[in-house]
């Protein structure tokens, strides 16, 4: 009796809280955009002396004790936020008209007189219709800290809009977003060589499977010092142990909707024992996902082994309401063209991806990672 009432009230409270957060975020982004404009126009033209932004920040702290978020570094980020997005936002056909609209934004106003009205500049300039690919609602839902992460690491407009959408669609926190950016999800998502289009009859399901995987994964938590042993099986076992020990990170690396079923998953088929390195279930695909780990370069023989595992999963493990199992070979290196050739005649849905460890990352990315002691604390 009371359960329905509690549920209804709880939903109303959560909706109200969500709207309140969105309203605050919209106002904050607009304020930072306006301050960014003011700082950009003055620091580039007016404040000639070195350290002007630092002195402005110090004065703000004195006049507003306890003020947070307005350090010199943050004000420079606000300037960057404005300078990176204003050329995009100003493509809106309504941008010029809005300068004299509700927020009283006057195009001829001098920068030094502009700050009070320009705190609402962003909300005015990105009102629909803006660019066709620019989703105003999504842009305003993403926190300022997320925007800065995206600006630093994603350099094209399409990539930035992609990560903004991912933030909203998947409720990404800043640290998960950083992982997405480090792994270069935009350029790797949906590029894994596979036979999904040939082996999955439902075209929408095939498209979902293609978009669910990347051609390369960043495993920066693997102990690379232990890899490279003489025995190949030992290498793969170390890799597996590193993934299992950091299974939450691995799932975040692989993407949303993955649940871990087990490692060295045992199946008995026709009197023979089979052991799958890693077994997951993907809710979006409604399918088991078997992952075989290989420490070296891709070999075509790996596909036959994986095909056998998928046949056993479908016969002995898969539930009647689930889609056919999917197999992924995760190896150190591959020739994508050769993989696409090798996998095409198999009837089970399979794909091949590679992995990188922290040592193989570009130097500027490695510098951004915590050192090993900090990483141990995080883990």
Domain boundaries, the chain: 2-141, 196-378
Contact 131, 94 (CB under 8 A): no
| Closest of 87, 62, 60 to residue 74, by C-alpha | 60
Which range scores top for mean pLDDT: 32-41, 196-205, 337-346? 337-346
Compute the average pLDDT of residues 47-66.
Answer: 74
Looking at residue 65, its pLDDT comes to 75
CB atoms within 10 A of CB 329: 24
Compute the average pLDDT of residues 210-228.
Answer: 72
Stronger pLDDT, 240 or 344, i.e. the higher one: 344
Compute the average pLDDT of residues 76-96.
Answer: 74
pLDDT tops 90 at residue 224: no
| Closest of 361, 358, 377, 370 to residue 225, by C-alpha | 358
Residue 351's pLDDT band (cuts 50, 70, 90)? very high
Pick the CATH number of 196-378 from 3.40.50.2300, 3.40.1350.10, 3.40.190.10, 3.40.50.620: 3.40.1350.10
pLDDT tops 60 at residue 195: yes
Looking at residue 338, its pLDDT comes to 95
Looking at residue 97, its pLDDT comes to 37
Prior bond of 129 cis (ω within 30°): yes
Residue 100's pLDDT band (cuts 50, 70, 90)? very low
> What are 10's two structure tokens?
């709880």
DSSP 18-51: HHHHHHHHHHHHHHHHHHHHHHHHHHHHT--STT
Q: Range with the lowest mean pLDDT among 142-146, 182-186, 314-318?
A: 182-186
Compute the average pLDDT of residues 143-158.
Answer: 92
How far apart, in Å, do the first and last CA atoms of the chain sit?
Answer: 44
> What are 212's two structure tokens?
């669910």
Looking at residue 378, its pLDDT comes to 43
Q: Is 379 helix (H, G, I), strand (E, B) or coil?
A: coil
Q: pLDDT (tens digit, 9 = 90+) per residue, 262-316?
A: 889 999 998 899 999 999 999 989 999 999 988 889 999 999 999 999 999 999 9
Q: Range with the lowest mean pLDDT among 69-83, 110-124, 353-367?
A: 110-124
Residue 120's pLDDT band (cuts 50, 70, 90)? low
Contact 294, 236 (CB under 8 A): yes
pTM comes to 0.60
Looking at residue 280, its pLDDT comes to 92
Angstrom distance (rounded) from CA 180 to CA 257: 15
> What are 294's two structure tokens?
């290989």
pLDDT tops 60 at residue 215: yes
Looking at residue 21, its pLDDT comes to 62
Stronger pLDDT, 322 or 20, i.e. the higher one: 322
Cα dihedral sign, 353-359-360-364: positive
pLDDT tops 80 at residue 318: yes
Looking at residue 2, its pLDDT comes to 58
């Amino acid at each position: 009796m009371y359960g329905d009432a509690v549920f209804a009230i709880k939903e109303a409270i959560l909706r109200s809280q969500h709207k309140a957060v969105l309203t605050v975020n919209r106002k904050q982004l607009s304020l930072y955009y306006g301050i960014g404009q003011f700082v950009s126009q003055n620091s580039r033209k007016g404040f000639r002396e070195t350290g002007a932004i630092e002195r402005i920040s110090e004065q703000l702290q004195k006049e507003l004790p306890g003020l947070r978020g307005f350090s010199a570094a943050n004000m420079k980020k606000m300037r960057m936020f404005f300078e990176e997005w204003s050329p995009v936002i100003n493509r809106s056909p309504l941008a010029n008209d809005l300068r004299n609209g509700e927020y009283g934004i006057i195009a001829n106003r001098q920068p030094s007189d502009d700050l009070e009205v320009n705190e609402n500049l962003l909300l005015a300039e990105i009102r629909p219709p803006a660019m066709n690919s620019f989703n105003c609602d999504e842009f305003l839902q993403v926190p300022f800290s997320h925007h800065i992460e995206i600006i630093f690491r994603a350099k094209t407009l399409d990539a930035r809009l992609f990560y903004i959408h991912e933030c909203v669609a998947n409720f990404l926190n800043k640290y998960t977003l950083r992982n997405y950016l480090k792994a270069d999800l935009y350029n790797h998502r949906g590029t894994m060589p596979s036979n999904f289009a040939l082996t999955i009859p439902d075209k929408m399901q095939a498209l979902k499977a293609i978009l669910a995987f990347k051609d390369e994964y960043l495993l920066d938590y693997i102990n690379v010092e232990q890899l490279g042993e003489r025995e190949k099986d030992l290498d793969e076992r170390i890799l597996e142990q590193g993934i299992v020990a950091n299974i939450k990170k691995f799932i975040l690396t692989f993407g949303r909707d993955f649940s871990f079923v087990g490692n060295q998953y045992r199946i008995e088929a026709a009197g023979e024992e089979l052991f799958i390195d890693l077994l997951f279930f993907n809710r979006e695909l409604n399918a088991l996902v078997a992952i075989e780990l290989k420490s070296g370069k891709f070999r075509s023989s790996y596909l036959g082994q994986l095909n056998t595992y998928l046949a056993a999963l479908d016969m002995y493990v898969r539930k009647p309401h689930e889609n056919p199992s999917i197999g992924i070979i995760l190896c150190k290196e591959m020739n994508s063209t050769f993989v696409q050739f090798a996998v095409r005649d198999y009837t089970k849905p399979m794909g091949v991806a590679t992995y990188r460890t922290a040592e193989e990352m570009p130097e500027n990315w490695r510098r951004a990672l915590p050192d090993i002691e900090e990483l141990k604390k995080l883990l």
